[in-house]
Amino acid sequence: MSQILLGVKYLHDQGILHRDISVDNIFLTRSGDVKIGDFGHAFTISTPPKLAITKFYHMPPELLKSEGMGDFNYRHDIYQVGVLLYNLCMLKPPYS
């Protein structure tokens, strides 16, 4: 978990929102290092997307209720890390 959080911190320090942190996008190397992958939904905070996003089960409730993208920020990635932790501990996604 610490490697995931350090990876997310690095992305945020670079101004990047991942927007899809889930068990499907966390990879382990043979040496046991954690890698974050699949940046298909990522964007830089300085150039947010103008299109609607896909609604994933791990999206924060306040974003799912939102009509626009203006309120999408770093805390949504952190929320997804929390959902990821729940998923890893309980072996199922929340709200299922």
Tell me: the pLDDT tens digits for 23-74?
999 999 999 999 999 998 888 877 655 544 444 556 676 666 665 544 567 8
Q: Give the pTM.
A: 0.78
Can you tell me the distance from the alpha carbon of 70 to that of 36, in angstroms, rounded to the nearest whole number? 25
Question: Is 20 noted as a catalytic residue in this protein?
Answer: yes
Q: Which of 13, 20, 24, 71 is catalytic?
A: 20
**Domains of the chain as residue ranges with CATH:** 2-90 (1.10.510.10)
Can you tell me the distance from the alpha carbon of 13 to that of 33, in angstroms, rounded to the nearest whole number? 20
What are the respective helix, strand and coil percentages of the chain, to the nearest 5?
40, 10, 50
Can you tell me the distance from the alpha carbon of 25 to that of 36, in angstroms, rounded to the nearest whole number? 6
| DSSP for residue 24 | G
Can you tell me the distance from the alpha carbon of 47 to that of 6, in angstroms, rounded to the nearest whole number? 23
Hey, CA dihedral for 79, 43, 93, 85, is it positive or negative?
Answer: negative
